[in-house]
C-alpha cells in the first residue's frame, strides 16, 4: 500500500493565529497540483470528541459524513482540500487514552507496564500512519493542536519526532507557524518569540523544514533574513503570512512563495505546478464585490459568530460567487419581541435561523420567522430553523396556538408537539444516543423548486432522485400533522427514502421561505457553494434589486 508523505504542522505563541487555515491552505495547494490529500488533527484535549464541548468555548461542532463530531478546523480542511474526511481525521488525547486504557483492561499488555513511551507513542504513530494509508493519500497533513510546550501535547510532538526517524528520508516534513508581534511604542515587529519557539522545538528533537511567520503587518525581507539567520533555516523556507483581505487568498499567497516547489525539493519528487485559476477567480469575486446585502442571523448562540462558523462562511462565499458582499447581523433572539421585530428587521434583506439545541431564545426565533413569512422576506432555516418554521406555521396559520417541539416543552404542557422524538428514539437514555448524525440520503420529489435547483447547480443529475446531506439533530417533524400542513399549502419537498422523515420544507407562495432539517453548511465548499445558499442569495437579490438570477 502507498505510504503518503506526512507534513506535520505545529505552532507556537498564541491560539487564533490561523494554524488550521494555514495547514488547510497547504492542502489546497497540493490538491491544486493534482495530489490526493488527507488531513488530520491530533488534539491535546481530554474530551473523547467535540460533541459535548460548548460552542461558547470551542466554536462550532463540525460533522463529517460518517457522523464524527469534530471541531471547526476539520471544516476548514474539508473546504480547502475539497475532500470528505472521516473519524480518522481527528484524535483527541481523550480518545487515545480511552483506547489505550481499554486495551489494558482487556489484557492486551498482560505482564507489562503500560507507558507513554512506547505504548502511547506507538498508538499515536499507528493512528497517523493508518489514516493516511487508508485514505490512499499522496500527502497527509497532520496538525498538532495546541501550542508547542503545552503539557498535554508533549507526547504528540514526541511521537511525530519518532515517526521522522523511523520513516525513509523525505517522508516526514515539519512546518512550523509562529507569530511576529508588532510593538506600537517602538513601531517594530519582534522576532524573539519565533526564535524561542524554534529553540523549544529543537529541544524536543524537531527541526522545522519550513517556517511560516504570521503577522498583522507586512514582513520585510530584513525580518525574514533575521529569522532565517537566528533559526538556521534558509530564508526561502521562511514564508511571511501577513493578514490578507480574505482567508481564501492564502493558497495563492503560498503559491507566490513557491511552496509547492519547496515541498517537491524536500521530498525529492518531480515538480508539479499548482493550477490556481479557481482560487484566483474566487479572490477576484471577493475583491470586486461592492454591493452589500444584510442578513439577520437569529440563532441560539446570539452574537457568538464562531458557533455558526461554517454557515456564516458559506453564506458569505455564496455571495461572492454571485458578485455581492454580505453582512451578517447576529441578533440575540431573546431580545426579539412583537413590539421591536419591525424595527430590528427593517433593514434586513434576509433572515436566517441557524441550528441550535434547547429552548432559550426560541420565541424570538418564531417571531422573526413570522415576520419573514408575513413580509415576504427571504427566510432560510437550518436544522432548528426548519423546526421553527414548522412551529410558526402551525401556530399562526393553522391556529394551533400551543404548537411547539417536545424539546422545548419539558413539562409537557402543550397538546401539539409538531416536532417530536420518533417512537424508536424515546427509550434511548444516553445523551447523544438519539442523535441523527452524519450523512443520510434524502429523496427528492419531482417538480419541486428545490429539486430543480440542485440540478441547476450540478448537485443532482437529471436522472437521480437521491442526494446525501449531513445531519446533527434529535427531533423530527411529527407526521400526524402532515396532512393538516399540506392542506394549507405547506410543502414537504424532500423526505427520507422511506418517506417517514421530513428533510426539507418550503412555502410555494413566498419568494423564498425554505428550511432544511440537514446542515448544508457542512457540505458547502469555497469553490462550489451549496445550492441552497446560492438560491437564498438569488432570492434576496431578486427581492431587493429586481434583477434576474444568473
Task: Give the residue with the Cβ less far from ligand GLN, 198 or 390.
Answer: 390
Cell of 247: 482567508
| Interface residues toward ligand GLN, by CB under 6 A | 355-357, 383-384, 407, 472-475
Asked if 283 is an active-site residue, the reply is no
Minimum CB separation from ligand GLN for residue 431, in Å?
A: 11
Cell of 503: 428533510
Q: 530-539 burial, b if ≥16 CB within 10 A, otherwise e?
A: bbbbbbbbbb
If you search the block for the grid coordinates 447547480, which residue do you land on? 457
Task: Give the residue with the Cβ less far from ligand GLN, 211 or 501.
Answer: 501
Say whether 492 sits in a helix, a strand or coil. Answer: strand
Minimum CB separation from ligand GLN for residue 90, in Å?
A: 19
502 and 492 Cβ atoms separated by less than 8 Å: yes
Q: Within its chain, how far is the Cα of 64 from the centroid?
A: 9
Task: Give the residue with the Cβ less far from ligand GLN, 308 or 320.
Answer: 308
Task: Give the residue with the Cβ less far from ligand GLN, 83 or 516.
Answer: 516
Task: Give the residue with the Cβ less far from ligand GLN, 355 or 492.
Answer: 355
Minimum CB separation from ligand GLN for residue 535, in Å?
A: 20
Sheet holding 210-215: strands in order across?
A: 90-92, 37-43, 139-144, 5-11, 172-179, 210-215, 238-242
Minimum CB separation from ligand GLN for residue 534, in Å?
A: 21
Cell of 528: 462550489
Q: 100-138 burial, b if ≥16 CB within 10 A, otherwise e?
A: beeeeeeeeeeeeeeeeeebbbebbbebbbebbeebebb
Alpha helices in 397-488 (DSSP H): 449-456, 482-487
Active-site residue identified among 383, 420, 442, 471: 383
Q: How many CB atoms lie within 10 A of CB 326?
A: 22
Task: Give the residue with the Cβ less far from ligand GLN, 179 or 355.
Answer: 355
Asked if 154 is an active-site residue, the reply is no
Minimum CB separation from ligand GLN for residue 411, in Å?
A: 18
Cell of 198: 524554534
Task: Give the residue with the Cβ less far from ligand GLN, 357 or 459.
Answer: 357
Task: Give the residue with the Cβ less far from ligand GLN, 25 or 524.
Answer: 524
Cell of 48: 473523547
Distance, in Å, from the CA atom of 43 to the CA atom of 153, rounded to the nearest integer, reads 7
Q: 488-524 burial, b if ≥16 CB within 10 A, otherwise e?
A: eebbbbbbbeeeebbbbbbbeebebbbbbbbbbbbbb
Backbone CA torsion sign across 374, 375, 377, 378? positive
Minimum CB separation from ligand GLN for residue 357, in Å?
A: 4
Task: Give the residue with the Cβ less far from ligand GLN, 174 or 308.
Answer: 308
Task: Give the residue with the Cβ less far from ligand GLN, 305 or 452.
Answer: 305
Active-site residue identified among 76, 140, 510, 519: 519
Sheet holding 417-420: strands in order across?
A: 404-405, 417-420, 476-477
Beta strands in 312-465 (DSSP E): 325-331, 350-353, 379-382, 404-405, 417-420, 436-444
7 and 39 Cβ atoms separated by less than 8 Å: no
Minimum CB separation from ligand GLN for residue 351, in Å?
A: 16
Residue 92 to residues 17, 37, 44, 177, 258: CA-CA distances in angstroms? 21, 21, 6, 21, 33
Distance, in Å, from the CA atom of 4 to the CA atom of 2, rounded to the nearest integer, reads 6
Residue 305 to residues 312, 331, 352, 390: CA-CA distances in angstroms? 8, 10, 13, 25
Minimum CB separation from ligand GLN for residue 476, in Å?
A: 7
Minimum CB separation from ligand GLN for residue 10, in Å?
A: 33
Minimum CB separation from ligand GLN for residue 149, in Å?
A: 36
Distance, in Å, from the CA atom of 201 to the CA atom of 215, rounded to the nearest integer, reads 20
Asked if 383 is an active-site residue, the reply is yes
Active-site residue identified among 363, 392, 521, 538: 521
Residues that are catalytic: 383, 519, 521
Amino acid at each position: 500500500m502507498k505510504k503518503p508523505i506526512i507534513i506535520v504542522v505545529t505552532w507556537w505563541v498564541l491560539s487564533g493565529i490561523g494554524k488550521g487555515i494555514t495547514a488547510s491552505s497547504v492542502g489546497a495547494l497540493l490538491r491544486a497540483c493534482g495530489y490526493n490529500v488527507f488531513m488530520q488533527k491530533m488534539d491535546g484535549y481530554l474530551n473523547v470528541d467535540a460533541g459535548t464541548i460548548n460552542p461558547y468555548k470551542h466554536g462550532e461542532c463540525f460533522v463529517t459524513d460518517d457522523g464524527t463530531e469534530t471541531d471547526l478546523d476539520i471544516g476548514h480542511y474539508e473546504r480547502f482540500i475539497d475532500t470528505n474526511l472521516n473519524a480518522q481525521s481527528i484524535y483527541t488525547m481523550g480518545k487515545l487514552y480511552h483506547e489505550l486504557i481499554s486495551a489494558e483492561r482487556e489484557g492486551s499488555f498482560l505482564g507489562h507496564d503500560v507507558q507513554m513511551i512506547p505504548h502511547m507513542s506507538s498508538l499515536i504513530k499507528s493512528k497517523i500512519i493508518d489514516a493516511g494509508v487508508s485514505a490512499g493519500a499522496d500527502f497527509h497533513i497532520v496538525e498538532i493542536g495546541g501550542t508547542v510546550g503545552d503539557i498535554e501535547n508533549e507526547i504528540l510532538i514526541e511521537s511525530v519526532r519518532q515517526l521522522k526517524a523511523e520513516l525513509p528520508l523525505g517522508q516526514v516534513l515539519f512546518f512550523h507557524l509562529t507569530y511576529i508581534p508588532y510593538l506600537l511604542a517602538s513601531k517594530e515587529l519582534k522576532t524573539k518569540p519565533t526564535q524561542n519557539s524554534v529553540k523549544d522545538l529543537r529541544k524536543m528533537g524537531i527541526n522545522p523544514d519550513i517556517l511560516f511567520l504570521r503577522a498583522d503587518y507586512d514582513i520585510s525581507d530584513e525580518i525574514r533574513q533575521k529569522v532565517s539567520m537566528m533559526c538556521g533555516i534558509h530564508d526561502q523556507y521562511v514564508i511571511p503570512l501577513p493578514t490578507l483581505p480574505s482567508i481564501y487568498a492564502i493558497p495563492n499567497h503560498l503559491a507566490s512563495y513557491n511552496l509547492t516547489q519547496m515541498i517537491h525539493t524536500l521530498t525529492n519528487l518531480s515538480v508539479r505546478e499548482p493550477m490556481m485559476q479557481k482560487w484566483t477567480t474566487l479572490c477576484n469575486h471577493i475583491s470586486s464585490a461592492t454591493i452589500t446585502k444584510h442578513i439577520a442571523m437569529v440563532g441560539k448562540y446570539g452574537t457568538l459568530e464562531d458557533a455558526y462558523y461554517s454557515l456564516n462562511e458559506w453564506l458569505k462565499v455564496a455571495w461572492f460567487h454571485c458578485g455581492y458582499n454580505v453582512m451578517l447581523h447576529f441578533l440575540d433572539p431573546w431580545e426579539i419581541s412583537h413590539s421591536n421585530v419591525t424595527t430590528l428587521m427593517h433593514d434586513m434583506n434576509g433572515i436566517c435561523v441557524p441550528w441550535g439545541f434547547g429552548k432559550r431564545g426560541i420565541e424570538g426565533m418564531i417571531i422573526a420567522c413570522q415576520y419573514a413569512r408575513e413580509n415576504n422576506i427571504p427566510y432560510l432555516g437550518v436544522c432548528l430553523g426548519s423546526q421553527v418554521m414548522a412551529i410558526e406555521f402551525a401556530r399562526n396559520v393553522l391556529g394551533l396556538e400551543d404548537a411547539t417541539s417536545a424539546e422545548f416543552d419539558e413539562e409537557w404542557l402543550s397538546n401539539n408537539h409538531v416536532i417530536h422524538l420518533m417512537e424508536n428514539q424515546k427509550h434511548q437514555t444516553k445523551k447523544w444516543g438519539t442523535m441523527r448524525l452524519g450523512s443520510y440520503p434524502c429523496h427528492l420529489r419531482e417538480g419541486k423548486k428545490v429539486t430543480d435547483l440542485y440540478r441547476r447547480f450540478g448537485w443532482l443529475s437529471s436522472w437521480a432522485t437521491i442526494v446525501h446531506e449531513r445531519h446533527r439533530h434529535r427531533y423530527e417533524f411529527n407526521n400526524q400533522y402532515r396532512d393538516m400542513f399540506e392542506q394549507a399549502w405547506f410543502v414537504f419537498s424532500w423526505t427520507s427514502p422511506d418517506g417517514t422523515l421530513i428533510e426539507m420544507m418550503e412555502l410555494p407562495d413566498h419568494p423564498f421561505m425554505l428550511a432544511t432539517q440537514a446542515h448544508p453548511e457542512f457540505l458547502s465548499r469555497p469553490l462550489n457553494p451549496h445550492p441552497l445558499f446560492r438560491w437564498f442569495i438569488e432570492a434576496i437579490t431578486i427581492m431587493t434589486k429586481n434583477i434576474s438570477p444568473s
